[in-house]
Amino acid sequence: MALTPFEIAKKQIDIAAEKIGLDLNLAKYLKRVERALIVTIPVRMDDGSIEIFEGYRVHHSTVRGPGKGGIRYSPEVNLDEVKALATWMTWKCSLLGLPLGGAKGGVCVDPRKLSKNELERLTRRYTSEIINIIGPDIDIPAPDVNTNAQVMAWIMDTYSMNKGRSIPGVVTGKPIEIGGSVGREPATGMGLFFVLEALCEKLSIDLKSQNIVIQGSGNVGGTIAGLLYNEGCKVMAISDISGALYFSEGLEINKLLEWTQQGKYLKDYKDKRYKLITNEELLALECDILIPAALENQITYKNADNIKCKIILEGANGPVTPEADRILFEKGIRVLPDILANAGGVCVSYFEYVQDIRAYFWELDRINKELKKIILRAFEEVYMLSKERKISLRTAAYIIAVSRIARAIELRGIFP
């Protein structure tokens, strides 16, 4: 039986705990979330009927600071998944040395089936339901799958209206006009690019001559695709939920992104040179760099043997399961793990939060410079540890991240 995302998250803690000889009581504590709220969200639909949706907000650990993590709208969202995503946020913030904890939220809904007004009512009611456990000092949400700057603006407004004053620091990933940060939208893709470039340098690989395959063409997949395309790399395949387009000589990514940004599906894009394949076929393509940037559990023990690349750059959270990780490690495939590779988003979210609190805004140049400095410092630590101990980059990243949380718990002690 395949493991659920939270079972995977717990397994990853066990692997790190064993390597660092972590106190079993601490490991037991880290495998629990601090709090999980399940809420019912009634929404009056445009036709007058009422639909009921279920939403979640989970704090995994706030031991090093307020919770931080996105909100996902998807028909597949469930509590187990949100718990796993919150746990991964704890490690991500810890690995980057940010004074933030791990949190995540989600609503079980297919937002494509809702009108804009229905989506706004859903978002505002969800915000009201979780209002007591979010806030600039408690937990700061951000965008994730199927949520965007507009959704963050509604959350910020609902929170502010309830508190009686404008509180931009309650969410990140907001529009710039209401306290958002320049550089936040492409930040996850930028971070991916920086760590990929750094790994290629370590391995003496010329990035420009690599053949690249990308699963997902949303914020993360689309941004990294654009950055690599502009760098002159050959992106051979890219997908969305409708399927994947493949062309061995390289896709015209700029045109495809214009298409997807209009809300259109890749399967409907017309170019005789391009072949429409499935997301499963895309993952098995022979390439140099594979970038899963859609959802978790995409590379499992079932398809890990079919993966034919040198480097996997994890744009999504949790796209590779622990069993698959072991198979890939044995095959000599380097996996740049999610908690490092896609941490650019939370890093610039942290900058946005700091800017909101100080009411002083930075220029793009400063954002990108500081992002690069922080993510490359984490990369260097992870890479050196993996080399020293001959372990995967993921295990090295977990050792560093989990050790920092364990140390914070030891220093603070267990209340009371």
Residues classed as catalytic: 104
Contact 276, 238 (CB under 8 A): no
**Helix spans in 216-272 (H):** 219-230, 253-261
Q: Which is closer to ligand NAD, CB of 22 or CB of 149?
A: 149
Helix (H, G, I), strand (E, B) or coil at 96: helix
Q: Which is closer to ligand NAD, CB of 191 or CB of 406?
A: 191
Alpha carbon 147 to chain centroid distance? 12
Alpha-carbon span 32 to 196, nearest angstrom: 32
Side-chain half-sphere of 172: how many Cα atoms within 13 Å? Answer: 28
Footprint on this chain of ligand NAD (rule: CB under 6 A): 143-146, 188, 216-221, 239-241, 279, 293-295, 315-317, 342, 345
Query: For residue 32, which amino acid is it?
Result: R
Q: Which is closer to ligand NAD, CB of 61 or CB of 215?
A: 215
Alpha-carbon span 124 to 41, nearest angstrom: 10
Q: Which is closer to ligand NAD, CB of 111 or CB of 179?
A: 111
Alpha carbon 405 to chain centroid distance? 20
Alpha-carbon span 137 to 128, nearest angstrom: 17
Burial of 164 (0-12, 13-18, 19+ CB in 10 A): exposed
* Shortest reach from residue 242's CB to ligand NAD, in Å: 7
Other beta carbons within 10 angstroms of residue 269's beta carbon come to 17
* Shortest reach from residue 161's CB to ligand NAD, in Å: 26
Contact 172, 353 (CB under 8 A): yes
* Shortest reach from residue 174's CB to ligand NAD, in Å: 13
Tokens of 79: 């509590």
**Residue, CB closest to ligand NAD:** 218
Tokens of 206: 């010329």
Q: Which is closer to ligand NAD, CB of 43 or CB of 316?
A: 316
Q: Which is closer to ligand NAD, CB of 241 or CB of 354?
A: 241
Alpha-carbon span 31 to 33, nearest angstrom: 7
* Shortest reach from residue 162's CB to ligand NAD, in Å: 26
* Shortest reach from residue 19's CB to ligand NAD, in Å: 25
* Shortest reach from residue 125's CB to ligand NAD, in Å: 21
